[in-house]
């Protein structure tokens, strides 16, 4: 469930209680603005990092906010006891995107997801006062799976930015080269590689499914639809025979009734 390009943030605002829509929108503004610093426009890497460091300094000085965004952030973190470390984690991930464009193995990908995606689910659980240790663990599985699903959906888009999130050891294991990605060549070796990645992402998503049993009402529906959205993208990757170069899977208007029905 994405809004704009920050694809791992569940913001189906109509599903959220009215009193939580503002804090969710503030968190989203923080994440999207920082993500823009890392990804959008033509800034050179040093300037991108400088902008992110400016955000980091404002976060450290949250007790004395200087901008409207950080005034709002200070208020919601105080009112809802949100851990500031989660916002620092997001900034660390965005900074990493500026300087790191290859991942040696899946452990490195998971470490990135721990900071780029997992904070979102954790913040939502904190807002709903559902932040038990087990709930956080299950949320991490879902959020990392959503992040990884986004990677596999966007293999070509990321490659054009000189980023490859497919683990380097998996590329070697399946006999897929960067030259092949550049040529957008989907042969059997590439299909085998992507089938392995899709199956792993689905297992991770379903590993977090017991979280739904600990939730109720709008939060449960929000998380369930978010999960189904990720699973649907994986399903569409399979239907495209893993050739996202020519059939990048996205949600169409007719997917939403299906996602809602599956979530229920």
- Nearest Cα to 81, choosing from 32, 128, 140, 121? 128
Contact, 58 vs 67, CB < 8 A? yes
Compute the CA torsion angle 101, 9, 68, 136 (nearest 10 deg). -100
SS3 for 194? helix
Match 């954790």 to its residue by tokens.
122
Query: Which residues have a Cβ under 8 Å from the Cβ of 230 and sit 6 or more positions away?
Result: 142, 145, 146, 149, 201, 205
At 12 the pLDDT is 46
Query: Which residues have a Cβ under 8 Å from the Cβ of 263 and sit 6 or more positions away?
Result: 221, 224, 225, 227, 228
* CA gap 170, 47 in Å, rounded: 33
At 32 the pLDDT is 92
Pinpoint the residues of the chain covered by CATH 1.10.600.10. Answer: 102-264
Written as six digits, the tokens of 169 are 């050891």
At 10 the pLDDT is 47
Output the CA–CA distances (angstroms, integers) from residue 136 to 11, 129, 167, 231, in the order listed: 18, 11, 26, 20
Output the CA–CA distances (angstroms, integers) from residue 94 to 6, 51, 56, 173, in the order listed: 11, 11, 11, 29
Query: What angle (nearest 5°) sits at the alpha carbon of residue 119, between those of residues 164 and 129?
Result: 155
CATH class belonging to 102-264: mainly alpha
Task: Record the pTM.
Answer: 0.91
Using left for φ > 0, alpha for ψ between -120 and 50, and beta otherwise, residue 217 falls in left
What are the mean pLDDT values of the chain's consecutive 10-residue runs (264 residues total)? Answer: 42 69 92 91 92 96 94 97 97 96 98 95 94 97 96 95 96 97 96 98 97 90 92 96 93 86 87
SS (H, E, C) 21-81: HHHHHHHHHHHHHHHHHHHCCCCCHHHHHHHHHHHHHHHHCCCCCCCHHHHHHHHHHHHHC
Exposed / middle / buried, residue 43 (Cβ in 10 Å: 0-12, 13-18, 19+): middle
At 109 the pLDDT is 98
* CA gap 95, 134 in Å, rounded: 29
Output the CA–CA distances (angstroms, integers) from residue 77 to 59, 108, 157, in the order listed: 11, 29, 34
């Amino acid at each position: 469930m994405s809004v704009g390009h920050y694809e791992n943030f569940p913001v189906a605002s109509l599903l959220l209680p009215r009193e939580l829509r503002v804090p969710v929108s503030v968190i989203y503004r923080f994440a999207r603005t920082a993500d823009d610093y890392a990804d959008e426009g033509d800034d050179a890497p040093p300037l991108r990092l400088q902008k992110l460091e400016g955000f980091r300094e404002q976060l450290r000085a949250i007790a004395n906010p200087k901008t409207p965004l950080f005034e709002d952030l200070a208020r919601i973190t105080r009112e809802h006891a949100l851990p500031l470390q989660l916002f620092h984690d997001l900034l660390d991930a965005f900074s990493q995107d500026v300087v790191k464009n290859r991942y040696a193995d899946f452990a490195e990908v998971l470490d990135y997801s721990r900071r780029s995606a997992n904070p979102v689910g954790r913040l939502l659980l904190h807002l709903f006062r559902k932040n038990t240790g087990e709930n956080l663990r299950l949320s991490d599985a879902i959020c990392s799976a959503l992040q990884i699903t986004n990677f596999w959906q966007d293999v070509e888009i990321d490659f054009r930015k000189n980023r490859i999130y497919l683990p380097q050891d998996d590329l070697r294991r399946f006999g897929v080269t960067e030259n092949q990605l550049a040529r957008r060549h989907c042969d059997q070796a590439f299909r085998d590689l992507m089938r392995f990645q899709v199956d792993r992402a689905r297992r991770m998503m379903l590993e977090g499914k017991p979280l739904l049993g600990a939730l109720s009402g709008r939060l449960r529906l929000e998380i369930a639809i978010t999960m189904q959205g990720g699973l649907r993208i994986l399903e569409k990757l399979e239907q495209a025979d893993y050739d996202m170069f020519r059939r990048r899977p996205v949600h169409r208007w007719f997917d939403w009734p299906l996602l809602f029905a599956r979530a229920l």
